[in-house]
Amino acid sequence: MRSILLLLFCIFARALAEELSAESQEVIDAVNSAHTTWQAGRNFHGSYKKNQVRRLLGLKKREGERVLPIQRYERSLKDIPDEFDARNEWSDCASSIGHIWDQSDCGSCWAVSAASVLTDRMCIASKAKFTAQLSARELMTCCSHCGDGCNGGYDDQAWKYFHHHGIVTGGDYGSHEGCQPYPLKPCEHHVNGSRISCPDMGNPHTPDCFPYCTNRKYKKPFRKDHHKTKESYQVESIVESIQQEILNNGPVQAGFTVYEDFLSYKTGVYQHVTGDMEGGHAVKIIGWGVENGTAYWLVSNSWNTDWGDHGFFKIRRGVDECGFESEISAGIPDLSNI
Which CA distances in Å does 10 have to 1, 55, 259? 14, 21, 21
Q: What is the average pLDDT across 66-92?
A: 89
Choice between 53 and 6, residue whose per-residue pLDDT is larger: 53
For the whole model, what pTM was predicted?
A: 0.92
| Residue closest to 99 by CA, chosen among 326, 284, 280, 228 | 284
Average pLDDT, the chain: 91
Q: What is the pLDDT of residue 61?
A: 85
Active site residue: 43, 215, 301, 304, which one? 301
Share of the chain above pLDDT 90, in %: 79
Q: What is the pLDDT of residue 19?
A: 56
Active site residue: 109, 150, 179, 213, which one? 109
Active site residue: 187, 281, 304, 322, which one? 281
Mapping DSSP to helix (H, G, I), strand (E, B) and coil, where does residue 3 land? helix
Q: What is the pLDDT of residue 2?
A: 54
CA dihedral 253, 98, 229, 65 (to 10 degrees): 0
Whether 301 is catalytic = yes
- pLDDT tens for 134-143 read 999 999 999 9
Q: What is the pLDDT of residue 16?
A: 37
Measured between alpha carbons, how far is 139 from 145 in angstroms, rounded to an integer?
10
Which parts of the chain fold into alpha helices (H)?
2-18, 25-33, 50-53, 86-89, 94-97, 109-125, 136-142, 155-164, 239-249
